[in-house]
Structure 1
Amino acid sequence: MMRYLLAFAILGFGLLVLVFNHDAGQSFGMDNEDFGQIIYTLPIILMISTGILLGRNTLGQSLRHLLIWVLIGLTLMTGYVYRQDAERVGEKLLAGLLPGRAVSVRTADGGREVLLQKSLGGHFETTISIGAIDVPVLIDTGASSVALRFEDAVRMGIDPDTLIFSRTVLTANGRAQAAPHTIPEIRLGDIIRTNVDAVVLEEGLLDSSLLGMSFLSTLHSLQMQGDELRLRD
């Protein structure tokens, strides 16, 4: 029983080291690939050697145990090699199950994307972080800048007395007055932008704040595929 526990401990330790040192490419001074082969081989050697030393296993039993550990090792190493693909599948599934949740994913070339699923209302809705405040927004490529509801601006800590409604904008309800404002930082998933141009609309004129082109135009791409929106950093 002890040799099984020791073999599992070796495999577990090796996988943890490989995951931790994945970006570095090396573990204990050797390439991760070579280190993984060693970790994969050690439990097999352990099972064979202990079986021979103890003399308790027949040749057939030893071969059967060897085959089991080969399969276990191959399964674990396959999981490690394809872990990023599994993460992408899981993240995409999460985005589909939770419309409006911004799911950050890594692309095959190492880039960053945020996935959004269309809501039941037919819009792409999500939540952005402005400082410590979460603000629900609609993705709106027709809006020239980020447009904040008056109520959201107040929640962010903006003093209404400092707002100067000097700009005329067009909304779904017609013309409205808006106050220019610069947002220090907006976070959408792993995508972060600083000093983003925005406007604050008069009270009661917006049902939801809008994430407009002053943010969206800074992205590498904005791609819609069916009910999925991909925003690439």
Structure 2
Amino acid sequence: MSRSIWIILGVMAVGLVLLVLNDMSGDVSGLSSDTFGRVLYLGIFGAVVGAGILGSRHRLGDVARNLALWLLVILVFIAGYQYRYELQDIASRVTAGLVPGSPLSITDSDGRTTVTLEKMPNGHFEARISVDGAAMQVLVDTGATSTVLTANDARRAGFDPETLAYTIPVSTANGNATAARVTAKELTLGAITRRNVTLLVAAPGMLDQSLLGMNFIGTLSGFDMRGDRMILRD
């Protein structure tokens, strides 16, 4: 075993002994036990890295370049974590611009979420939601009491329209219809999620597009429309 390894082990042993002996007082050579422990840890880490560099046969220039590269990678990861909310907002904005109806989710430092929807060319607000993991395009209808799925969307979400009992009368843009009641384990709009949501499934052929109704919107802290935008606040 090389001399440098013995020196490192000796420093570790002395440091640990000092920490144990001064644990009750909470002070080691004028430093708090926590501070001394961090200094000891960083010193040992630096000594190990330095010993590895000196013991290697690589040129110092190559070693310095590799260390700088790893330092850059670490800083990128740290910056990504610190600015994770801002990066999420950027990703949401890009997606909202590329995919019509994609919700723009913004989460502030307190964890509060707002979702913004852009008005579609047809003059309505539509959104891409997920019901039990199945993505679908829905019309946001603040005049609808319940969220109503078409038979096709219900099938994608794992419900079998052929086995449902259509006994609930509903009023749609196409007139009166009947629907069946089901429960979704999870309904997600952007970064807003609700669990165990009661939904209606329209009888096959009775509804052209699924509706996001007030039984979901009413669970939010608020919503408002500003020009061509609808803002939903969790």
TM-score between both structures, scaled by the size of structure 2: 0.63
Q: Whole-Å Cα distance in 2 between the matches of residues 19 and 160 of structure 1?
A: 45
Equivalences for 1:1-233 in 2 at 5 Å? 10=71, 13-20=74-81, 22=82, 88=89, 91-92=92-93, 94-96=95-97, 98-107=99-108, 109-233=110-234
The percent identity for this pair of structures is 42
**Cα-to-partner distance string for 1:140-170 (whole Å, 9 max, x where unaligned):** 1111111011222223332234311111111
Larger radius of gyration: 2
Shift in Å, 1:85: 5.6
Secondary structure of 1:193's counterpart equals strand
Kept after mapping to 1: 8 A contact 2:105/2:115: yes
Secondary structure of 2:102's counterpart equals coil
Kept after mapping to 2: 8 A contact 1:99/1:118: no
* Number of residue equivalences: 173
Q: Whole-Å Cα distance in 2 between the matches of residues 193 and 94 of structure 1?
A: 22
Rate the CA distance shift 1:153–1:17 in 2: closer, same or farther, 3 A. Answer: closer
**Cα-to-partner distance string for 1:90-117 (whole Å, 9 max, x where unaligned):** 7446535543112221236431122211
Q: Whole-Å Cα distance in 1 between the matches of residues 170 and 156 of structure 2?
A: 22
Kept after mapping to 2: 8 A contact 1:100/1:125: yes
Q: Which amino acid aligns with 2:185?
A: P
Secondary structure of 1:152's counterpart equals helix
**Gap runs ≥5 in structure 1:** 23-79
Q: Whole-Å Cα distance in 1 between the matches of residues 187 and 85 of structure 2?
A: 27
Q: Whole-Å Cα distance in 2 between the matches of residues 192 and 85 of structure 1?
A: 20
TM-score between both structures, scaled by the size of structure 1: 0.63
**Gap runs ≥5 in structure 2:** 1-60
Shift in Å, 1:212: 0.6
Kept after mapping to 1: 8 A contact 2:132/2:184: no
Secondary structure of 1:196's counterpart equals strand
